[in-house]
């Protein structure tokens, strides 16, 4: 019985330490990066990558925030932008699809790496499938391009 | 004078980041600690090994151990961190953790994230099945990539 307790305590302690050493530096780094002037320029610079799969430049900010920080943060940026008419229904759909498949890519991947996963396999495969899915979805006729985002139509907020 | 302002702003950013990091860490621990303890204890009973044996054939298609079924259920319906705790308590091989990372990375927290899609006014009925199908398909492809 005591061996089980010490085994669990040891395992748990190791896990907590690993998580702490991943989460703290990462979040501090991301918070700092977001405050730097080059951050906006960095986001704009990703246009050549995301334009071919169907994203307009206005989509890049919520997309990159969601990709780096997590889906809730991406939504937090996207929703006001959609309400202000900056994003149409199609862009909202594509951003949501991409983020649904690939968000918080650094944090999620590092957590699995802490448990022994091959990180690059996770990052590359998630990113590629998100790009591929958005590319396919962008070819659909629905939602029709320039349909206002529903948040605007229903007049909420 | 400008350097002072910049230093103060940057100093605040680091403090903000540290605070956010700590609250995130605490949020993760509130989920992972109980799950880890329960799973680690259950591993010492016949319960989890029996569940694992039952799911071995199905999970094996993705090169996952039988107990991955528990991680997958938690990852899909609750969140990623509970699934991570199951994996940590089980000590899986790197290929299995990688495949789990791919499947769960794409397909997790469906209840909570569907709510976020609804807030975005994005089509949940399309996006949730998309994530599930994409996650498991991608995981299967990745599992094939590793030599046996």
CA–CA dist A105, A126 (Å, integer): 8
Residue A85 has which token pair? 């008419």
Is residue A68 assigned to a domain?
yes
Residue B135 has which token pair? 């996650």
Does any CB of chain B come closer than 8 Å to the CB of residue A68? Answer: no
The per-residue DSSP string of A131-146 comes to HHHHHHHHTSS-SPTT
Does any CB of chain A come closer than 8 Å to the CB of residue B127? Answer: yes
Confidence band, pLDDT 50/70/90 cuts, at residue B40: very high
- Is residue A112 classed as helix, strand or coil in its secondary structure? helix
CA–CA dist B94, B91 (Å, integer): 9
Stretch B112-136: mean pLDDT, rounded? 96
pLDDT digits (tens), chain A, 157 positions? 788 999 999 999 999 999 999 999 999 999 999 999 999 999 999 999 999 999 999 999 999 999 999 999 999 999 999 999 999 999 999 999 999 999 999 999 999 999 999 999 999 999 999 999 999 999 998 888 788 888 654 444 4
Residue A119 has which token pair? 């990180």
Is residue A10 assigned to a domain?
no
**The pLDDT value given to residue A142:** 86
Number of H helices, E strands in chain B: 7, 0
Is residue A94 assigned to a domain?
yes
**CB proximity under 8 Å: A 12-51 to B:** 12, 15-16, 19-20, 23-32, 35
Look at chain A and report how many structural domains it folds into: 1
Is residue A19 assigned to a domain?
no
Q: CB of A47 within 8 A of CB of A113?
A: no
Q: Do A27 and B21 touch (CB under 8 A)?
A: yes
Q: Which structural domain, as residue segments, surrounds residue A95?
A: 37-153
Q: Do A8 and B36 touch (CB under 8 A)?
A: yes
The per-residue DSSP string of B40-72 comes to HHHTTSSHHHHHHHHHHHHHHTTT--TTHHHHH
Chain A residues with beta carbon closer than 8 angstroms to that of B87: 115
Q: Do A121 and B93 touch (CB under 8 A)?
A: no
Q: CB of A91 within 8 A of CB of A58?
A: yes
Q: Do A24 and B122 touch (CB under 8 A)?
A: no
Is residue A60 assigned to a domain?
yes
Q: CB of B124 within 8 A of CB of B80?
A: no
Q: CB of B96 within 8 A of CB of B63?
A: yes
Chain A residues with beta carbon closer than 8 angstroms to that of B123: 93, 96
User: pTM of the prediction?
Assistant: 0.91
What is the length of chain A?
Answer: 157
Nearest to A75 among B18, B84, B120 (CB): B120
Could you tell me where the beta strands, DSSP code E, fall in chain B?
none
Nearest to B25 among A23, A97, A122 (CB): A23
Per-residue pLDDT reduced to its tens digit, B88-112: 999 899 999 999 999 999 999 999 9
In our burial notation (b when 16+ CB lie closer than 10 A, e otherwise), range A28-38 reads bebbeebeeee
Neighbours of B33 (CB within 10 A): 14
Chain B residues with beta carbon closer than 8 angstroms to that of A17: none
Q: Distances from the Cα of A136 to the Cαs of A100, A150, B32, B41, in angstroms? A: 15, 22, 37, 46
Is residue A138 assigned to a domain?
yes
| Closest residue in B to A91 (Cα–Cα) | B122
**The pLDDT value given to residue B99:** 98
At residue B91, φ and ψ (nearest 5 deg) are 55, 75
**The pLDDT value given to residue A151:** 64
Does any CB of chain B come closer than 8 Å to the CB of residue A133? Answer: yes
């Amino acid at each position: 019985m005591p061996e089980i307790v010490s085994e669990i305590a040891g395992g748990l302690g190791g896990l907590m330490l690993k998580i702490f050493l991943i989460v703290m530096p990462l979040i501090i780094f991301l918070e700092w990066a977001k405050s730097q002037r080059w951050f906006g320029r960095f986001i704009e610079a990703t246009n050549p990558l995301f334009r071919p799969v169907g994203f307009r430049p206005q989509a890049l900010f919520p997309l990159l925030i969601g990709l780096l920080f997590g889906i809730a943060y991406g939504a937090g940026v996207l929703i006001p932008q959609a309400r202000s008419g900056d994003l149409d229904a199609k862009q909202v759909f594509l951003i949501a699809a991409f983020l649904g498949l690939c968000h918080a890519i650094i944090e999620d991947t590092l957590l699995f790496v802490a448990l022994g996963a091959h990180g690059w396999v996770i990052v590359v495969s998630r990113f590629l499938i998100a790009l591929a899915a958005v590319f396919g979805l962008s070819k659909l006729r629905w939602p029709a391009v320039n349909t206002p985002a529903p948040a605007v139509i229903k007049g909420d907020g | 004078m400008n350097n002072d302002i910049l230093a103060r702003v940057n100093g605040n950013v680091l403090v903000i980041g540290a605070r956010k990091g700590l609250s995130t860490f605490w949020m993760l621990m509130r989920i992972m600690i109980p799950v880890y303890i329960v799973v680690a204890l259950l591993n010492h009973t016949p319960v989890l090994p029996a569940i694992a044996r039952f799911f071995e054939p199905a999970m094996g298609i993705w090169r996952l151990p039988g107990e991955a079924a528990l991680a997958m259920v938690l990852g899909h319906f609750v969140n990623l961190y509970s699934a991570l705790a199951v994996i940590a308590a089980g000590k899986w091989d790197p290929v299995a953790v990688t495949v789990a990372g791919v499947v769960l990375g794409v397909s997790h927290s469906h209840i909570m994230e569907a709510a976020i899609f609804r807030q975005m006014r994005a089509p949940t009925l399309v996006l949730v099945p998309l994530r599930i199908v994409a996650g498991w398909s991608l995981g299967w492809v990745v599992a094939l990539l590793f030599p046996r």
